[in-house]
Structure 1
Amino acid sequence: MASTVKSKVIGYGSSKVKGKTREYTFLEFEDGTKLKNVITTTYIADHIYVGEEIEISYMNVKKFQFIIGARSRRGELMLASDDSMIITAVAFYCIRDSFLISTFVGYWIGKLSLIQYENIQIAIRHFAYFAIAVCSIYLYKFIKFTKDYKSGVAALEESSKQVQAA
């Protein structure tokens, strides 16, 4: 689920740029919120200043906080809709090391089935059952990521409409 913080930035840790993304060790806000291992686009990061009020919508993705959008104090809405950011988040959220481990386990399930039953069709079937189970888990995680991303963007857009109406 996406969370929103609207407060002044009082500090941030070291950051490193990788392509169009920037990773902060932490972001700290006046209201006491502290985000660790923050990933965002360089466009959004260029609007994060100490002492400036900003509204940020973020998601917890494994051990990272992924900023999906922000609204500056001037009312400018910035979304992390950059392809590289979304691919980075999906890689952290859905795949990561689990994919390699599940492929390795699936291989051994197939190999042990082949040894036990001495039938390649049964071995392939057992590997396929395992692969389908793993793929369905990743599909579920991807759908959940998409819903969380959309809810975070919707929260920022609703906040922008309220500011414009006032």
Structure 2
Amino acid sequence: MIWIRIKELERRLITNKLSEKTGLHYLLAHIVVALIFIYLPEFSGYTSEWYYFAEFLVVLIILIITLKTAFSINKERDFLKRAISLSFVIGLRLLIFFTLLHLLYKIIMFIIPVDLFVFFNNFTTGDIPNLLFTFIISLSFYFLLTRAFKRINLDQGEFRASNI
């Protein structure tokens, strides 16, 4: 199973060297991650349930558009294995990237003067910034997954190892 290197996963999908057993491992990893987040204590971070509902709708709409776009790009070739494996690796990469970005933000907030801290803290906390952050993460997932599907669905004549 490939954890971080999206190019290697794309290469294996293009050359059809990702086994069904590996596809099963990605499915199991998705299920485990989903169960962890389902059973974590519920905390929406929003002051109103309407923002929580709006976040749900944003994620749902972008996810449906992402999967439909990826399916149309895929040309009806082994969609589930490709979607599950690519979305797991992309999701993991996004988690690492945004965790590091959040850590950098916390370090900066710790270093800056109190006046600036209060200004940025008021600007970056609350319902609308949380909703915007969710929107940015969801759009990032959309663009990364559709780009990966486009790369792995090139015709074999167009495929060059240097691209991957």
Task: Classify the TM-score, shorter chain.
Answer: 0.3 to 0.5
Larger Rg: 1
Could you state the TM-score of these two structures normalised by the residue count of structure 2? Answer: 0.34
Q: Which has the higher helix share?
A: 2
Q: Which has the higher strand share?
A: 1
